[in-house]
């Protein structure tokens, strides 16, 4: 990825224990919080805990600090609020001072926070071994010893900082700081001996924001990508050109063969099962009516459902008021609607799970985190787009689900969350998937 390096990212061995705990807990909480291992072809995380010789060796690419934690320093030093939301929680009054912290906090701005996987994963890998809990990952300092090469670029933060300016520069190259940073990363990484050795196939990028690395998607496509879905990427998971080969599956940029779908970071607080109360609304949705690409389905559903008894469909924005409305709406509704917007999935799905509101996914091509291990049908209703757009079909189907089944769905959400809310286990499974990919 980019040109000359300036200051190298260094991480002293005095990382606070609290940071380590929060790093792991937060990543795990949004990651595989309902991990459910049913597929024997995937490693059993409890087994991997005991088999240290099978740990994955991770080399962290040498990038300037300005491309990760330095970006956070820049973010907090800014006095300019995000122009896309009415109330920016990070820049309400004045810039937040940097208090001699090696690791600045990640933004609370919901447009950015929902994609914070890059922060937690990088922090975990940068934590000195002696301060870690038992881990499936072992950091090595020679790429020749590594199973995977992790690229510690805060691609989401970089993109969102540019988008927040609201000057229409994101798609341009001139005057675009995000483009400059993307190019710097590409120049450094692709010119490294590690990349040349493998062609990038063992490199890992966290690109949870659909516009992360927007200008250089083709250049990083050979790598293992951690994404929330495949929206905005070129994907072709078809058999070979004659359609008959059982061996060859083509892809252009993303593929379930090499990439990992990870969850959004949820924005709403968790509702305890013991706190669950009678829900008066059948179906709830809060969000923007008009979106791009797949959003046309959302608009049609809106018109179909907006006047339906027992259904609440309303415009909403990611500010403090919208957050409180979403908490009330999701906690008082049996089901929460999840149609596609700009991309197939959204943070809304994971907020619904936090709220024990049974997700209703309307999509023909959504990818969900760790589908090989999590049986989503145990707590999610899936409806094909054509069916959902038939008058009354969706609401009639939801009303036909008995109270007993609804409670079972909610219990399954709770049990999956509680049983697998284990910080070590979550990171282990992600890393175990990497190990399988490179072997």
Q: What is the DSSP string of 315-360?
A: ---SSHHHHHHHHHHHHTEEEEEEE-SSSS--THHHHHHHTTPEEE
Two structure tokens written together for 181: 């940073």
Measure CA of the first residue to CA of the last residue in the chain; give whole Å. Answer: 25
H helix runs in 221-333, sequence order: 295-305, 320-331
- CA–CA distance, 34 with 31 (Å, rounded to integer): 8
User: Which pLDDT band holds residue 418 (cuts at 50, 70, 90)?
Assistant: low
pLDDT tens profile 405-416: 999 999 999 887
pLDDT, mean of residues 115-119: 89
Angle separating helix axes 117-126 and 17-30, nearest 10 degrees? 140
pLDDT, mean of residues 223-251: 56
pLDDT, mean of residues 255-269: 83
- What is residue 89's predicted lDDT score, i.e. its pLDDT? 76
Two structure tokens written together for 48: 């991997």
Q: Which residues contact 392 (CB under 8 A, 6 or more apart)?
A: none
pTM (2 d.p.): 0.77
Percent of the chain with pLDDT over 70: 71
Angle separating helix axes 69-77 and 155-164, nearest 10 degrees? 20
Residue matched to tokens 């799970």: 353
Is residue 125 a contact partner of residue 58, using CB atoms and an 8 Å limit?
yes
Rg of the chain (C-alpha set): 22
Q: Which residues contact 50 (CB under 8 A, 6 or more apart)?
A: none
pLDDT tens profile 9-52: 433 333 233 223 323 333 333 333 333 333 323 333 333 334 34
Give the domains, in start order, of the chain with CATH numbers.
17-265+421-438 (no CATH), 273-419 (3.40.50.2000)
Two structure tokens written together for 33: 């919080």
- What is residue 21's predicted lDDT score, i.e. its pLDDT? 30
- CA–CA distance, 220 with 233 (Å, rounded to integer): 12
């Amino acid at each position: 990825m980019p040109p000359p390096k300036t200051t190298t990212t260094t991480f002293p061995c005095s990382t606070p224990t609290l940071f380590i705990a929060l790093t792991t807990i937060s990543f795990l909480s949004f990651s595989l919080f309902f991990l459910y291992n049913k597929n024997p072809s995937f490693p059993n995380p409890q087994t991997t805990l005991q088999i240290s010789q099978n740990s994955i060796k991770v080399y962290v690419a040498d990038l300037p600090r300005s491309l990760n934690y330095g970006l956070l320093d820049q973010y907090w030093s800014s006095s300019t609020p995000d122009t896309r939301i009415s109330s920016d929680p990070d820049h309400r009054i004045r810039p937040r001072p940097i208090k001699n912290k090696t690791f600045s906090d990640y933004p609370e701005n919901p447009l950015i926070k929902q994609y914070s996987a890059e922060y937690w994963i990088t922090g975990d890998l940068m934590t000195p071994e002696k301060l870690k809990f038992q881990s499936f990952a072992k950091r090595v300092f020679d790429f020749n010893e590594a199973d995977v090469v992790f690229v510690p670029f805060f691609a989401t933060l970089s993109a969102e900082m540019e988008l927040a300016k609201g000057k229409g520069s994101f798609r341009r190259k001139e005057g675009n700081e995000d483009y400059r940073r993307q190019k710097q990363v590409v120049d450094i990484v692709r010119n490294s001996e590690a990349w040349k050795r493998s062609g990038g196939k063992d490199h890992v990028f966290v690109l949870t924001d659909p516009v992360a690395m927007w200008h250089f998607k083709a250049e990083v496509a050979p790598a293992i990508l951690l994404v929330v879905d495949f929206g905005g990427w070129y994907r072709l998971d078809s058999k070979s050109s004659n359609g008959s080969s059982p061996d060859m599956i083509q892809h252009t940029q993303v593929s379930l063969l090499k990439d990992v779908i990870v969850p959004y970071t949820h924005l709403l607080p968790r509702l305890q099962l013991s706190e669950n109360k009678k829900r008066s609304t059948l179906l709830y949705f809060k969000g923007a009516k008009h979106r791009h690409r797949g959003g046309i389905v959302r608009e049609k559903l809106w018109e179909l459902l907006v006047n339906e008894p027992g259904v609440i469909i309303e415009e909403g924005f990611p500010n403090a008021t919208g957050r409180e409305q979403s908490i009330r709406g999701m906690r008082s509704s049996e089901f929460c609607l999840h149609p596609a917007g700009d991309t197939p999935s959204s943070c809304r799905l994971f907020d619904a799970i936090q709220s024990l509101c049974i997700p209703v996914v309307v999509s023909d091509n959504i990818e969900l985190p760790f589908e090989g291990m999590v049986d989503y049908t145990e707590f999610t209703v899936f409806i094909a787009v054509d069916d959902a757009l038939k008058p009354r079909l969706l609401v009639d189907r939801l009303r036909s689900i008995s109270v007993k089944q609804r409670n079972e769905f909610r219990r399954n959400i709770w049990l999956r969350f509680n049983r697998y809310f284990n910080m070590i286990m979550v990171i282990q499974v992600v890393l175990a998937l990497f190990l399988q990919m490179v072997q």
